[in-house]
Amino acid sequence: MNKDGEIQTELIGKFGGYRKMDSFTLATIVQIGTWKFCEKFLNMHNDPKGRQFDQMTQAARSGRTNIIEGSERAGTSKTTEMRLTDVARASLAELKGDYEFWLLCQKKVPWNNSCDLAKEIYHVKLNPNPPVLKDGLYYSGVYLLAQYDKFDKWLSSDDSYVVANTMIVLINRAVHLLARQINSQSEKFVNEGGFYERAKSERLKKINNNITGDVVCPECGKPMRKRIARTGKNEGKEFWGCSGYPECKVTKEIDE
């Protein structure tokens, strides 16, 4: 594990490390803020069956958890990483629509881009992510709550108009970062390939390492490589097999 919490093996690529990403931090703030918004402003009058509460909190949860799952799956499937990152982006976009709808029901509109308060919230800087330590979950929690507190004066407002607009600004920030991540992930996949390309490369490397130029096929002249018998009376025993297999099926005993 490196200082960013990423893990990598020779065959499996980097995975994990999502806690270092600002998109994850913002998605966490959005999930906490959404839960508090729903607890504070939704009630039996405007959400009698609790469906709006469920929809909004589940969309917020999906935004955060798909970042986690996508990052953890990155080592064996870059396409899955990209797909889940896009699900996170789409879930947060859906949640933004819920906050917009809330404002419209109050006969209000979201802040425009020139709104001073919207610009102030958008440009609040997050602290650098702390290095991954032995008790990483504890320190990550401390960090995330500290970042939430940067927006608390707006998110704790008794005016749902202010809270909903603040959430929209935070979601816009997270969605923007996730879109950039997807572009970066796709470029990396094109340039480096994924798990199956690495697996094939490692397999070919192993095959080539078993080939020796000192032993050549008496039939076609190609170098022979060590194989292990899988069945029959010689099961488990090494032998020389032509590297031209399956076109050439000549074999030789190693002790010849």
Question: In this predicted model, what pLDDT tens digit does every residue of 51-110 receive, in sequence order?
Answer: 999 999 999 999 999 999 999 988 778 888 999 999 999 999 999 999 999 999 999 999
Q: What contacts 197, CB < 8 A, 6 or more positions away?
A: none
Is the pLDDT at 238 greater than 50, yes or no?
Answer: yes
Q: 125-150, pLDDT tens digit by residue?
A: 999 987 766 678 898 999 999 999 99
Q: Report the pLDDT value the prediction gives residue 2, as an integer from 0 to 100.
A: 45
CA nearest 96: which of 33, 146, 4?
A: 33
d(C-alpha 253, C-alpha 75), whole Å: 40
CB 41 within 8 A of CB 63: no
CB 63 within 8 A of CB 29: no
Q: Report the pLDDT value the prediction gives residue 11, as an integer from 0 to 100.
A: 46
Taking the CB of residue 33, how many other CB atoms lie within 10 A of it? 22
Across the chain, the runs of DSSP E, i.e. the strands, are: 6-7, 15-16, 211-216, 223-228, 238-242, 251-253
Q: Which residue has the higher pLDDT, 195 or 93?
A: 93
Q: Report the pLDDT value the prediction gives residue 180, as an integer from 0 to 100.
A: 96
Q: Report the pLDDT value the prediction gives residue 229, as an integer from 0 to 100.
A: 83
d(C-alpha 68, C-alpha 48), whole Å: 33
Is the pLDDT at 176 greater than 70, yes or no?
Answer: yes
Q: Report the pLDDT value the prediction gives residue 17, as an integer from 0 to 100.
A: 86
* Segment among 32-36, 59-63, 80-84, 171-175 with least mean pLDDT: 80-84
* Two tokens, residue 2: 């490196």
CB 139 within 8 A of CB 133: yes
Can you give the pTM of this predicted structure? 0.73
CA nearest 218: which of 252, 171, 256?
A: 252
Helices (H), 74-155: 78-105, 116-122, 136-149, 152-155
Domain ranges of the chain: 6-198, 211-253
Alpha-carbon distance values, 182 to 4, 65, 84, 89, 190 (Å): 19, 16, 10, 9, 12
Q: Which residue has the higher pLDDT, 251 or 82?
A: 82
Q: Report the pLDDT value the prediction gives residue 177, as an integer from 0 to 100.
A: 97
Q: Report the pLDDT value the prediction gives residue 101, as an integer from 0 to 100.
A: 97
Give the type of residue at 183. Answer: N
Q: Report the pLDDT value the prediction gives residue 158, as an integer from 0 to 100.
A: 98
Q: In the predicted model, what is the mean pLDDT of the chain?
A: 86
